[in-house]
Every structure is written in structure tokens, then in C-alpha cells.
Amino acid sequence: MAKEQPVTLGSSAECVDELIRRVGKNITLGLPLGLGKPVRFVNALYQRAKEDSSIQLHIVTALSLTAPGGSSSLEKRFMGPFAERLYGRIPELEYARDVIRQKLPANVKVSEFFFKAGSFLHNETQQRNYVCTNYTHAVRDLMALGVNVVGQMVAPPAEPEQQETFSLSCNPDLTLDLIPLLREREESGMAVALVAETNSHLPFLGNDAAVEQSQFDLVLEHEVSDYPLFSAPQMSVSPEDHMIGFYASAMLKDGGTLQVGIGSLGAALVHSTILRHTDNEHWKKVFDHLRVAERFPVVNDYGGTGTFTEGLYGCSEMMVDGFIYLMEAGVLHREVFDHAGLQTLINRGELAHSVSIDTLDLLRREKLIASPLRARDVEWLCRYGIFHPGVEFKGGRLRIGEESLGPDLDSDEDRQAIASMALGERLAGGIVLHGGFYVGPEQFYQRLRDMPPQERDRICMTSVNYINHLYDHAFGNQRLKVAQRVHSRFVNSAMMYTLSGAAVSDGLDDGRVVSGVGGQYNFVAMAHELPGARSVLTLSSTRSSAGKTLSNIVFSYGHCTIPRHLRDIVITEYGIADLRGQSDEQVYLRLIRIADSRFQQDLLKQAQKAGKVDPSFRLPEEWCNNTPEAIQAAIKAAGDKEVFPPFPFGRDFTDEELRLGKALQTLKAATATRRGKLATLWHAVKAKDDQGRYRSLLERMSLDEPRGLKARLDQRLVIHALNLTDTPETGNRTA
């Protein structure tokens, strides 16, 4: 029996009324990770719960996005106009803002399984409510928490052929699996509701992301109140980040598979990958300068230095904007198909994408079709473009309009007729990217909206269980996944790495959660299961804390995200450590080799004291040049300062904001200690802008005419910081 069409409502208040009528006042609401939250509906439900304490509302989600605000008065002055420009037309996610303010009412609880990095380190309530789970287990755990309502922002139909469907677009990741499970609960007698909120700004993506509107119970549809999508601004890529991305790009094999995460390290990898393909000469200059092949021979066996003639295929839980740039640059163009036998023939080089009568002979030999052809063979051949869409099977023959052809591949007459009238031109239905969710800059969303339909159809947003798992129950086709994911490189970032080979990516040793496991464990484990696959964990070799520079490669740490028995490849700005299958001594030494030279000797002493490295070992001279100066030399080796730009894919900050941002970062570092604060204040009191060099910058900070002691001090601090960063060499150049 066909499911009823959903109730469509034009106001969020009516939607909440209908929801409570259906499920009552005990609501456990599952929301998508990141972008796909239905903000109008959620805000209305949260407001109703604030007004009515008899409503028990438990929100279970991940990555609740809010506009940046800043903590100090200077940060607020800087971020205010920027946030207004980017987010001024987007309704604020009210529960998320109250979570930050720690002002949730007693009848509302918010549990997340992934935080924006570092956002809740000092929020004890959210630390207590955090749900630690692999991304692939999130649906299971949502159901265990008693979810009875799921809300999702969806893209309404954009073309006539899309009528009666919605696109889950940015977040099919969990919803595709939640829908049937909620319906099972409904059949067992539990009151449930699936709520869709349409937003015409959301790109309509088809394939798995397109679902029937009847899957939902309630639809909030009010085009007048549609709002722009929440964007994640492009952040700068440092020279160190670029070097990490460069080394990672040398680990990619043409004809392989790529997964990559968000952030500056992901952007750096994408940039260097495009550079390798479109400007191979400059890329090889850096490769040769760093002596990568000689110093890190793993690239000779598992990586490459040439262009991507076969192309890459993307299989990533997050579709970062970099994948679109890889498509546009001609890197991401290896198509995969949802049939294991077909994909295996392509992998072996036996089946070309162009179609001929030989294609049918090969498929017959492999027992994928029979002769004479049957109805199911014809349907299958049409699906993959081997026959053109007009071919039908009727009465034991092939029908093309008024023409009737014999189906016998052993008959010369039938073969000639099939070759001339039935064959398509090339295989159809190929996918170059499987993704689970996306969030990114506004220009990324616009690129998706503007993409020609035939290009957009090569992107398949789907369940995270399909992407992150080889053995999931819902999709289950392990053979297909193995065939698609040849030469996989799963590239993810870590905060720290221990000499024993464990990665610290999501939390601190005192138990506080920084972000979440997400899919990192799944990808690392999958790299050890797939033939020819490698896990690549990237991290900066150092970090700054309280005015000190600390090593991110440490002897040991009281928390880990990836256990040492899954150690594989680690990359810092100083090189590649190939750890798979190595003895403990080699693991320790290879990690010390890519650590910052300021910390190598101490790390070696700790390793030797623990008996993990021979006491007679001494650091080779060639290991001891891991310095910031060496990074600058590598950047210069490309021969053009623009080869590794700070914003390879555009930026949301203005020139003035970049100058101010650099100055404020310098100020923050200078005041990280009590002594630094006192010294900075002393210099700031004497700082002046008598020549008006910084007038426009002070106006941007609303400090051109300060009122009150605090504002006057803020003005002096900004002038002092600009004096430190606006050197004669840099002048008005952007950072």
C-alpha cells in the first residue's frame, strides 16, 4: 500500500503543533551533522520547550554550527562585522547558542557525538552529555537513545522530473539509514515523525540522496523565509601546512581512491594534488629539492609523481569543497560503477568505457549476460549505457521503435543489427565521488548549484555506512566496495602522535573531548583491510601553548584515538614516516626523523631510556635540519612565490581583515603568559598612530574614535600589534 503524502505546513509554529499532536511531549530529536539541520523548525520546537516545561526535549546530533563571535573585546570587534557579512541573513540555531552560553532550560538536553574542535573544552555540561561513538555507529546509538523524531533540511524539486522527490543533499549520511528504522518502530506501535524543511538554496543532488516526499510525515515549506546556507569560511594555509599537503600528494597513485578531511591540511593536499597534475614541473622541483624518493622510498611503491591520466575516485564521508576543484582540474575523473563484476573488468583493463560489439562478447564470456539475450540482460545493458535507452525486450526480440532485432549473439545477422542500432556510445551511471555530508564556503554551494546536471549526476551523496564500512549490513556488498576502492589513500589529521605509533585526534588525557572520533577509526581500519590501501595521518610537528612551542610528536600520552597496532603512514611538514609492519625501534626512529629538530634529541633520549632504541644510536646529520628555515627553502624551491599561496581557493576575509587578523594573532601569542601581558601593555600604552597609517583599520575595528578607558586601551593594543606585523617589507600586503 502506498504511503500517504506528508502534511505540508507553511509555518514552523503549525509544524510544532502537529508534531506534538502526533508524538506527544516526550521528544528525542535526531538532527543531521552540520549543515542539514532544519533551523526554522528546530528553533520553533526549542522555543516551545522553553515556554512549556512539560515538554521533555532531548536533541541528539553532531557539529551544531554557530557564527563565530570571539571571546575578548578585540576578537568581538574583529569578528562582529565579518560574522554579520557572512551570517547576517541566516537564522541562528538558538539551542546551540544557549548551549554555548550554558543557558539551556532544565527540560532540554543536547547530546553531540562530534564537537567543533575545541569548542566545549570548558563546558562541563556538554562534556558530560557527549556521546563517544564511531560515525558508522551513530545511527545505532541514536536509536538506542530512543529517537522518535528526525528533522532534516531538504532541497525541493528543481526540475519537472524531480517532482514527488526531495533531495537529502548535504546529509543523507545518517538519514538514509534512520528512515527505515523509524518506520519499524512505527509499525511496532511507537509514535514517530520525520520532518522535512525545504530550502531552495540547497543544491538538489540526485542518486541515493533523492528520496520520495512520502518518506516524511511533515513538511515545513515556506519559500519566503528560505535562508542562505551556513558557510565555513576558507582559512589560510601556512607554509608548514603546504609541505604536509605536498608530501601527502606524493602518496597518491594514479587510478586510485581518495578520502580527505576538512581544514587547512585538507586544502593543502588538494592544492598540491592539483599542482602535481596541472603544473608538474613546479611540483617536481619541490619533490627533487626535498629528495623525497631517496629519503622516503614508500612513495616509490605506493605513490607517484606524474599527472593523473587515469584519474582519482573520491570516497569520503565529508565532501569537502576541494573535491569540486579536483573535478574541475581533471584529477577526479575515475568513474566507478555499482556492479562488482563490471567494476572488476574495468580494473583489469579488459572493459573500456567506450562500447562496441566486443563489449557484449566480454560480458557474455564473464557470464554477466547470456545469449540469446533475455529481458533482464537488456534491462541491465540499458542501465549501464551499453544499450541506448530506447531498446526494449518484447516477444523474445529487441525492439527499437518500429525495428525488431534478433537477440542471438552467435548470429552474424543479429550481431550486425545490434551493433548498428542498439549499442550505446559509452558506459553510463559512473560515479566519481561518493560522499556522506558536506559543509563549506558559499562559493562551494554555488558551484554545486551551477554544475551541469550530467556532472552533478557523477556525485552520489549516500549513507555513511556505505562509505566508511566494508561490512555494513544495509548495503552489504563488500566485493563491490573492494573493486571500487583500489589504491585507497585515507588522509586524516591528528593532534599528536606518540612514538609507539598511537594517534591522538579527538581528546585530552584528562578526559575532555576536543572534537570526536567521527570516521577516522573506520578509515584507518579499512586501510588495513583493503588490498593496496594506506592510512595517512597528517599533523603539524609543533604547536604553541602559553607562549611556548611544543612538539606534537610525543613519547607517550594518556589518551589515544587510533591504537598503535593500526599504525601506518604519518606525515609532518618534515617528511613521511612509513610505520606499517615495522619493529618498535624503527617506528620510534622514523617518527623522530620527522619531528621538529628542537625536540628530536629529547625524544631520542626518552626512547633509549625506555629501551626502545639502541643506546649507541646517534641522530644522523641529515635528520637534524627539520627547521622553519628548511620549510621556507622548500617553498622557494618551486621557483615562484605564488605556487604555494596562503589562500589557494579564495578567501572570505578582506585585505584589511587579513592584516588585522595577523596583528591580533601576534598579540594573542605575545600575551599568552603573565610576563608577556605586562610587557605588551607597557609597549601598547606608548603606541601611537600619529601619521594615520592605520586609520582605516581602526575604523574597521570601531576604534578610530574610542570612548572610555577600555576602548582607548584596545586602540593602543591594535596599533602596537600592527607596528609589529606591518613591517617595511610587508607594507600593506596580505598575510
Judging by DSSP bridges, how do beta strands 503-504 and 496-498 pair with one another?
A: antiparallel
CB 18 within 8 A of CB 216: no
> How do residues 409-419 score in pLDDT, each as one tens digit?
999 999 999 99
Q: Residue 473: its pLDDT value, please?
A: 60
- Radius of gyration of the chain from its Cα atoms, rounded to whole angstroms: 28
Q: The cell 522555543 sits on which residue?
A: 47
**Which set of grid coordinates corresponds to residue 431?**
560515479
Q: How far apart are the C-alpha atoms of 671 and 657, rounded to whole Å?
A: 21
Residue in 481, 622, 568 with CA at minimum distance from that of residue 302: 568
Q: Residue 263: its pLDDT value, please?
A: 87
Q: Residue 40: its pLDDT value, please?
A: 97
Q: How far apart are the C-alpha atoms of 272 and 262, rounded to whole Å?
A: 15
Q: In what order do the strands lie in the sheet with 433-437?
A: 459-461, 433-437, 313-318, 257-260, 488-493, 534-538, 569-572, 575-578
- The single-letter DSSP state of residue 349 is T
CATH of 239-335+433-631 given 3.40.1080.20, 3.20.20.80, 1.20.140.150, 3.40.980.10: 3.40.1080.20
Collapse the DSSP code of 670 into the 3-class scheme (helix H, G, I; strand E, B; otherwise coil) and give the result.
Answer: helix
The boundaries of every CATH 3.40.1080.10 domain in the chain are 7-225
Q: Residue 472: its pLDDT value, please?
A: 64
pTM of the model: 0.94
Q: Residue 733: its pLDDT value, please?
A: 36
CB 202 within 8 A of CB 172: no
What residues of the chain score a pLDDT lower than 50? 1-2, 728-735
Q: What are phi and psi of 203, to 5 degrees?
A: -60, 135
> How do residues 31-70 score in pLDDT, each as one tens digit?
999 999 999 999 999 999 999 999 999 999 999 999 988 8
Q: Which residues of 291-315 are buried (b: 16+ CB within 10 A; e: fewer)?
A: ebeeebebbeebbbbebbeebbbbb
CB 556 within 8 A of CB 511: no
Q: Spell out the residues 6+ positions from residue 33 whose beta carbon is closer than 8 angstroms to its own.
A: 61, 62, 63, 114, 171, 173, 174, 437
Helix and strand tally (H, E) in the chain? 29, 25
Q: How far apart are the C-alpha atoms of 242 and 246, rounded to whole Å?
A: 6
The boundaries of every CATH 3.40.1080.20 domain in the chain are 239-335+433-631
CB 582 within 8 A of CB 527: no
Q: What is the CATH number that goes with domain 7-225?
A: 3.40.1080.10
Judging by DSSP bridges, how do beta strands 218-220 and 7-9 pair with one another?
A: parallel
**Which H, E and C letters describe 76-95, residue by residue?**
HHHHHHHHHHHHCCCCCCHH
Burial grade of 103 (CB within 10 A; 0-12, 13-18, 19 or more)? exposed
Q: Spell out the residues 6+ positions from residue 387 whose beta carbon is closer than 8 angstroms to its own.
A: 378, 381, 422, 423, 424
Q: Omega before 372 cis (within 30°)?
A: yes
